[in-house]
Amino acid sequence: MTKKELVEQIKAKQSFLCVGLDTDITKIPQHLLKEEDPIFAFNKGIIDATKDYCVSYKINTAFYESMGIAGWQSFVKTIAYIPKDIFIIADAKRGDIGNTSSQYAKAFFETMPCHAITVAPYMGRDSVQPFLEYKNNWTIVLGLTSNEGARDFQLTKIDNQYLYEQVLGTVAQWGTEENLMFVIGATQAIELTNVRKILPDHFLLIPGVGAQGGSLEDVYRFGKNKDVGLLVNASRAVIYAGSDENFAAAAALVAKEYQAQMKALMSA
Amino acid sequence: MTKKELVEQIKAKQSFLCVGLDTDITKIPQHLLKEEDPIFAFNKGIIDATKDYCVSYKINTAFYESMGIAGWQSFVKTIAYIPKDIFIIADAKRGDIGNTSSQYAKAFFETMPCHAITVAPYMGRDSVQPFLEYKNNWTIVLGLTSNEGARDFQLTKIDNQYLYEQVLGTVAQWGTEENLMFVIGATQAIELTNVRKILPDHFLLIPGVGAQGGSLEDVYRFGKNKDVGLLVNASRAVIYAGSDENFAAAAALVAKEYQAQMKALMSA
């Protein structure tokens, strides 16, 4: 999916919502456990209910990998089920030496085809480059994450800048605004002004709204650019909004509410 | 596996060799492609041939993930086939916010049980902690990697130390020498003296010998401690030593040669 197509979709839906499919077998409604593939049954319900309110699904690979082969089967079925015009992110946080990153890129861009993958920057350029070699896919590199641990290294000061700022500035040179995005946690909204100084034109993937406590208003205020330039993810707040037979309708309501807030922000 | 058991095995075998099962379907001998599971057939041959010369197998998850579900089936069969006294490392370089890292820990310590997993440090303490909560497993955190890209961030100077040194010193406080190891590339042998100042007692996992050009002698000279404290990995140099029906015998020869060098170094 090109940047232009993504921006058009955001404008058409008046939404920059990404729904995170962090599907945990211990948290889905009981009645689904009798299904042949409970994880896929749950995801199918969530996708049907939310697809008009979001422009992206972010699939957190850990929740699938923890179930072994059955989990990967659910993953494959889920990406095949997502409507073709919706941006699919494998939230996998992969990254390794070049010949190994090439295998990860193959996994998530060919074998189990997603539009984008999240990648950790610690191993540097040759660990990111193999993902960028796919011309029609996106590499989403961790910048400043939404968790407490972001303070340990990302917010270390190097001369007059934080490590995460060095990461953004350096990694941005390895790709373009057409194939590279960055993860900036919504809990770090105050830093978005700095981020936009370094990356005025890139899309940012913003997790941390909802269960983690980030503010959508602040994210939009400090983070938007001329193309909106944001994908704001909510996972648990949407997918676990309900816990019984009506889980999908409950998820739809929350997703619709996010979309309405986003529409209001985009119209203001 | 405890540290004591690992050290005993190293002394008994006079080897600190780890064989990396980076098994690539495009590189294995042609005759194996007619097998039902060529990847497993190859690994089985390599394991049978090298198990007396090594103390560990490191399975690079990317090569399995790139084949999708079939790849994960090969992975599961491979870990089940490895003799019980050999240390199994899932070289997965995972790491995410706490509730997600818990799922990765479950994946590689329970569902597909390995002794150890490699973890990326960029997201900080709460991304590493869930792995450390498993009392009988090991977390192997990236310190200074063997690739060119190590220069991009790991060798950034912060005040008077490199980022990787800050990572080693900080992460070491989150666990103990009984559940935490670090990755230090063999191509960075010159840095091992610094590493040992920070981590005198930890085991180090050292990739980069063989195809990547690191020197075993230098690694031992600068990196050993009172327990040896090293697992030196060779992947391509061992597993692709031969390319025909005799691939396993060829791998055995190279692994045996490494073991002989290690024995000589340990006896010197």
Residue B209 has pLDDT above 90, yes or no: no
Residue A175 distance to chain B (closest CA, Å): 15
Cα distance between residue B233 and residue A26, in whole Å: 38
Q: Which two tokens stand for residue B211?
A: 């195809």
CA A111 from chain centre, in angstroms, equals: 20
Name the band, by pLDDT with cuts 50, 70 and 90, for residue A188: confident
> What was the pLDDT predicted at A130?
98
* Chain B nearest-CA residue for A121: B122
Q: Tell me if A127 and B112 make a contact (CB, 8 A cut-off).
A: no
B73 chain-A contacts, CB cut-off 8 A: 69
> What was the pLDDT predicted at A160?
87
Three-state SS across chain B? CCHHHHHHHHHHHCCCEEEEECCCCCCCCHHHHHCCCHHHHHHHHHHHHHCCCCCEEEEEHHHHHCCHHHHHHHHHHHHHHCCCCCEEEEEEEECCCHHHHHHHHHHHHHHCCCCEEEECCCCCHHHHHHHHCCCCCEEEEEEECCCHHHHCCCCCEECCEEHHHHHHHHHHCCCCCCCEEEEECHHHHHHHHHHHHHCCCCCEEECCECCCCECHHHHHHHHCECCECEEEEECHHHHCCCCCCCHHHHHHHHHHHHHHHHHHHHHC
Cα distance between residue A75 and residue B147, in whole Å: 31
Question: pLDDT tens-digit profile of A63-91?
Answer: 999 999 999 999 999 999 999 999 999 99
Residue B189 has pLDDT above 90, yes or no: no
Q: Tell me if A124 and B103 make a contact (CB, 8 A cut-off).
A: no
> What was the pLDDT predicted at B87?
98
Q: Which two tokens stand for residue A268?
A: 């203001």
Question: pLDDT tens-digit profile of B42-95?
Answer: 999 999 999 999 999 999 999 999 999 999 999 999 999 999 999 999 999 999
Q: Tell me if A124 and B147 make a contact (CB, 8 A cut-off).
A: yes
Q: What is the mean pLDDT of chain A?
A: 96
B152 chain-A contacts, CB cut-off 8 A: 121, 124-125, 170
Nearest to B127 among A24, A147, A156 (CB): A147
Note the pTM of the prediction, 2 decimals.
Answer: 0.97
Name the band, by pLDDT with cuts 50, 70 and 90, for residue A212: confident
In three-state secondary structure terms, A26 is coil
* Residues constituting chain A: 268
| Residues A121 and A163: beta-carbon distance below 8 Å | no
When divided into structural domains, chain A yields a total of 1
> What was the pLDDT predicted at A15?
98
- Catalytic positions of A, written as ranges: 93
Q: Which two tokens stand for residue A265?
A: 């922000």
| Residues A81 and A44: beta-carbon distance below 8 Å | yes
Name the band, by pLDDT with cuts 50, 70 and 90, for residue A190: confident
Cα distance between residue B127 and residue B100, in whole Å: 8
Residue A257 distance to chain B (closest CA, Å): 25
Name the band, by pLDDT with cuts 50, 70 and 90, for residue A258: very high
Q: Domain limits at B109?
A: 3-267
Q: What is the CATH number of the domain that holds A142?
A: 3.20.20.70
Residue B76 distance to chain A (closest CA, Å): 9
B26 chain-A contacts, CB cut-off 8 A: none
Q: Tell me if A107 and B68 make a contact (CB, 8 A cut-off).
A: yes
Nearest to A106 among B66, B153, B154 (CB): B66
Cα distance between residue B121 and residue B93, in whole Å: 9
Q: Which two tokens stand for residue A138?
A: 């996106």
Rg (CA), chain B: 18
